[in-house]
Amino acid sequence: MIIIPGPASNSLGESLAKELGQEPVFIRNRIFPDGESYIQMPPDLGGETVALVQTTAPEPDRKLMQLLFMARTAKDLGAKRIIAIMPYMAYARQDKRFLEGEALSFDIVLDLLEAVGVDDSIVVDIHSEESLEKLKPKHDMRIHNVTAIFVLAEYMKKNGYDGAYSLSPDLGRKEIVEQVSTVMGGG
């Protein structure tokens, strides 16, 4: 497997590669004066599984386009399998139409990832697991949601934040926040 950190996730990609006993392979990138992204991938990807590590925040439009460019170029260069690792997946909150005529941005992003050749997506703490499960059957791309919440709660507890309060941004995260509160011993 070749691990390629994207421009938005260089240190995370490098840490992940080292954790897996690999050396990360870096791309060349820059931003043109008009704001467009330039991406140059390593040419030796033929027959390889390529893991692209790229968060899509802040600046979700730019970061998402960079990920799409990386995935399509890796596929064009002969990668046999593309895994997109996204610590944050932009547009996952727009999983239904709240007002008539709104774009279903989450579904569109999944379509785009699939269209450029992504075989697997790994996301961290997606906005709504329920919405993800509803969309999975529509896509050939495998989508995996992993959580970092309990690891973070343990880290915080070990570093003097035990007893801290946990807050939920909405009702969808209420159950997780209650579980985190149990780990942290707070309210």
Model pLDDT, residue 118: 98
Q: What is the pLDDT of residues 12-68, one digit of tens each?
A: 999 999 999 999 999 999 999 999 999 999 999 999 999 999 999 999 999 999 999
Please report the domains of the chain, with CATH numbers, ordered by start residue: 2-146 (3.40.50.2020), 148-187 (no CATH)
The dihedrals phi and psi of 39, each to the nearest 5 degrees, come to: -130, 130
Helix (H, G, I), strand (E, B) or coil at 82: strand
49-53 and 2-5 as β-strands: parallel, antiparallel, unpaired?
parallel
Is pTM beyond 0.75? Reply is: yes
Residue range 115-163, pLDDT digits in tens: 999 999 999 988 877 787 787 888 899 999 998 888 888 888 889 888 8
Distance CA 82, CA 133 (A): 21
